[in-house]
Structure 1
């Protein structure tokens, strides 16, 4: 007769088996290996696009040749370019690494929901992009903490299957982590998607490559991923805003000063004061570090920024706040000051794009009252803003087919709920404060 298993151990075994049956944590994956291929010095590489103000788009690419031109030819028919735009270029050195020539060219004005064909620097293949719609409905794909692993590739494959106008990335792009050629391989990995739809990104901790000899820890990120900060009145590429149809999107910087005396905070006040909610009924914010997080990973890291900025976002009537950093998915109720509030924002942590560090699977119990759904899986989200009052959010696991929705929610805008009328006085008071 075998030895009797103690009751407590038996219970724990049964519980562990049940948990394992429910979800098996994927193992961390190494960074993908990319074959090196010699190309002509003026051949455009790492092509990606971003919004650059109303009806304008920025085309960015890299060439090995330092004398390569920075112009873009474009038009609405394949191989026929009736417009040309001249841009700018930059480069940088980081210890023993020297970047290629990094080009940024703004094209436009462009028509909404229109396919344009373009060529960079008169060399290489023809690319095509579709501009976002100028009116509702508008769709966003969302996933942070991408990296360049097998899970990243799976996420990108899923995103490629969904119909979206703009991709939103709340920080941690390449996971280069000081190894500069990984910025290049990341650019090549995302080019098929990023050259066809605008990618709007903000910085994460893995973009900060500070060392004693390098004054600007974000020089690689800033040089390669130029966002419309100047167009939105910001003095830093680490925070900016843009609009798509009736949606105002604010990208905040978790790794630059954010206290009440900072340039970012003052810019945010000025930016919010310009938002006309009768024309842009939706207000969305992205930041890297989540303010509402019931995972043990990075617990409390967003508290300082939340304490400073949440009153301002609450008074302005922000509808949704997306964050990354935690390698898992979590969605909240409308919340403010740590408590459910029908006039607060829905907070969504979606740092589940791929990375190389694995998933953050340890959650705090009991689950907070404000937390609705949480799971440690790789995936992406889709936000379809249907009209001025309603948007549909869905989250999709990589382990499932893209059409499968693992979490979903209809969101009613605060503009249509009556909350903004109640907040007008408090917002004016905050915006007028010195």
Structure 2
């Protein structure tokens, strides 16, 4: 009996040593080359770059592009393959960028749809049949999170790993295509993400690589706004750069790091109004996404989010936001609950996840010593998964892309602030800040 106990103890000890050595010897991956997309001949009316997004209660927006300007913005859909019991007609747009002219960009809202249901649909009465699954009406609900995607070999790996995750909605905190003024790269990005983005709603916000502003020649965000229409109107916003939506007990606010955010701005006033509408009995979880992180111990992009943080952090704190996701820094970092640069049990958890696979590579250098608010940080490509189990508990995990295998490298249970006492403590402060002119 003693010999067996000693043997078991030794085995556990050796396993601990093995894990420790493996972690210590881990070598972060190098950037991979940009993907190449050979030209393929398709009929001009063939739907391309199909993706879906949430568009208000029980509705979904289907977006696609055709080369034929006469193609109708029609979506046929139903709950059985090849049998479409409903049809909706939407709108279309296009844009010019220097010498580039986009195809016809269609946006059609379908619904009302049943929750947690698979629908089959066809775009413009042409091309293949697609299928989508609507999010559930109640917990549990799972979000895939990955920012700064781009179009590299690591992007492909990240998308493959996300596809293995049984998620309901993809959240993307900015920097989508890395087209960087080369408009055809928006087209190849749309084709790259279509298998995932046509099946689950992708909710995105803008990053610096979406700006594409040329003084005196070209305004900013032309391609992003035309191609990736989000529910701004449905959430009372006047800009596609910031909006909100709700999924199964979660209220999610997408902020614009590159839209005006001072106390006299439209975005600031919209945020105040949106937070006042949040009913934590109906949506006990409150999440925020933006591109430029407010809490960042990486040497890359230091202090770039300070202005927005100074203006808006008091609003998020007063409203008891649970989690803030950001991108921009090409690495991963998770904080404690924090506010005003100090650990605070009533502040949000901040997670930087700008490591989806971009062409610029990883931000490898962190500042030392590590700030007391920072819990876990690593410069590796990967993605995150947030499973909100019920009104009070969620499980967060970050999955490193390790030799093309998704390796869970950070995980934590997070408790919502809804029953923490923080809401009651800050109720007066909340009203005072949000009702201020």
Q: How does 1:352-363 map to 2 (within 5 A)?
A: 352-363=355-366
Instruction: State how far apart, in whole Å, the 1-side matches of 2:370 and 2:25 are.
Output: 18
Instruction: State how far apart, in whole Å, the 2-side matches of 1:20 and 1:419 are.
Output: 37
Q: How does 1:184-195 map to 2 (within 5 A)?
A: 184-195=187-198
Task: Provide the residue aligned with 1:132 in structure 2.
Answer: 135
Instruction: State how far apart, in whole Å, the 2-side matches of 1:53 and 1:415 are.
Output: 24
Task: Provide the residue aligned with 1:233 in structure 2.
Answer: 236
The unaligned stretches of length 5 or more in structure 2 are: 1-20
Gap change, CA 1:307 and 1:226, over 3 Å in 2: same
Q: 2:78 aligns with which of 72, 75, 88?
A: 75
The unaligned stretches of length 5 or more in structure 1 are: 1-17
Matched, 1:376 2:344: no
Task: Describe the SS at the equivalent of 1:405.
Answer: strand
Matched, 1:158 2:133: no
- Relative to the length of structure 1, the TM-score reads 0.94
- Relative to the length of structure 2, the TM-score reads 0.94
> Over aligned residues, Cα RMSD in angstroms?
1.3
Task: Provide the residue aligned with 2:210 in structure 1.
Answer: 207
Q: 1:123 aligns with which of 119, 123, 126?
A: 126
TM-superposed deviation, 1:213: 3.6
Q: 1:429 aligns with which of 407, 419, 432?
A: 432
Task: Describe the SS at the equivalent of 1:196.
Answer: coil
Task: Provide the residue aligned with 1:267 in structure 2.
Answer: 270
Instruction: State how far apart, in whole Å, the 1-side matches of 2:379 and 2:430 are.
Output: 36
Check whether the contact 1:128–1:195 (CA below 8 A) recurs between aligned residues: yes
Gap change, CA 1:21 and 1:416, over 3 Å in 2: closer
Task: Describe the SS at the equivalent of 1:28.
Answer: coil
TM-superposed deviation, 1:215: 4.7
Q: 1:149 aligns with which of 148, 152, 164?
A: 152
Matched, 1:66 2:72: no
Task: Describe the SS at the equivalent of 1:156.
Answer: helix
Instruction: State how far apart, in whole Å, the 1-side matches of 2:340 and 2:32 are.
Output: 37
Check whether the contact 2:401–2:407 (CA below 8 A) recurs between aligned residues: no
Instruction: State how far apart, in whole Å, the 1-side matches of 2:209 and 2:403 are.
Output: 28
Instruction: State how far apart, in whole Å, the 2-side matches of 1:332 and 1:317 are.
Output: 16
Check whether the contact 2:75–2:122 (CA below 8 A) recurs between aligned residues: yes
Gap change, CA 1:400 and 1:428, over 3 Å in 2: farther
Q: Greater shift after overlay, 393-402 or 291-300?
A: 393-402
Q: Deviations over 1:147-197 (max 9, x none)?
A: 000000000000000010000000000000000000000000000000000
Task: Provide the residue aligned with 1:15 in structure 2.
Answer: none
Check whether the contact 2:144–2:167 (CA below 8 A) recurs between aligned residues: yes
Matched, 1:408 2:379: no
Q: Deviations over 1:68-124 (max 9, x none)?
A: 110000000000000000000000010110000000000000000000000000000
Instruction: State how far apart, in whole Å, the 1-side matches of 2:43 and 2:329 are.
Output: 40
Task: Provide the residue aligned with 1:246 in structure 2.
Answer: 249
Gap change, CA 1:339 and 1:189, over 3 Å in 2: same
